[in-house]
Amino acid sequence: MELRDKPCYVTERGLYKGSYIRAGESERRLTPYEVDRIVENKGQPSWDREPVPEASLGDLDETSLSRYTEKQQAAREKTFADGMPTALRRLQVLREDKPTLASLLTMGDYPQQFYPRLTVTFALYPGTGKGDVTEGFRLLDSARITGPIPEMVEEGVRLVEKNMRTAGLIEGVFRKDVPDYPPVAIREALVNALMHRDYSPQPWALPSKLTCTWTDSRFLTLVGFSAE
């Protein structure tokens, strides 16, 4: 079925009550959240461009904002021809004189002041998978990571590196440290998960989080959105 035709639903019941998905040998009705995501995926999501009503320009980190505008001005000087306020609107840093969700999450002093559940949760579990160990220590390390996205990435990488094994590879007369995962790969995975997580309003009302799960078997799992 073409994307433009999804979701297929029972006309008499309407879009939200008549949309189903096949699950094994049965059918399950889609939740309103799932229906909205299917409809939204027909175009380019723009939730990150929405203004944050309670925030102001002062809630953005001055140093981060300055670095960003300097880089943008060097690349496209015409954007700044009509002054900084206009440039900030053109660059989607501000909208309706308020920081956009994207600018707050990337350059904000503390985005969780406005969105306390847009965080990263790190968890290190014993065994080969989550829930394998039901007695004794069920969690070997954990952390709730907050701050703007760049800070959450740095802290997430640090926590994974702290809990990784590092082997010693002898090459001739030299020793080379070889971690379970290259730090650059961890960073890339975490950045991708944060970039592609769902920033639509529905998850804001749920206990939503990006979960970084690490087990004794050295498998690293990143989940962009989970509701418990």
Q: What is the DSSP string of 152-182?
A: HHHHHHHHHHHTS-EEEEEETTEEEEEESS-
pLDDT of residue 133: 64
Note the residue count of the chain: 228
148 and 111 in contact (C-beta within 8 Å)?
A: yes
pLDDT of residue 82: 95
Across the chain, which has 228 residues, the per-10-residue mean pLDDT values are 73 83 81 75 80 96 97 95 96 96 96 90 74 70 91 91 84 84 87 83 59 58 49
Contacts of residue 180, defined as CB under 8 A and 6 or more positions apart, other chains included, come to 164, 165, 166, 218
pLDDT of residue 21: 82
Residue 68 CB neighbour total at 10 angstroms: 18
pLDDT of residue 200: 81
First to last CA, the chain: 32
Say what the pTM is.
Answer: 0.76
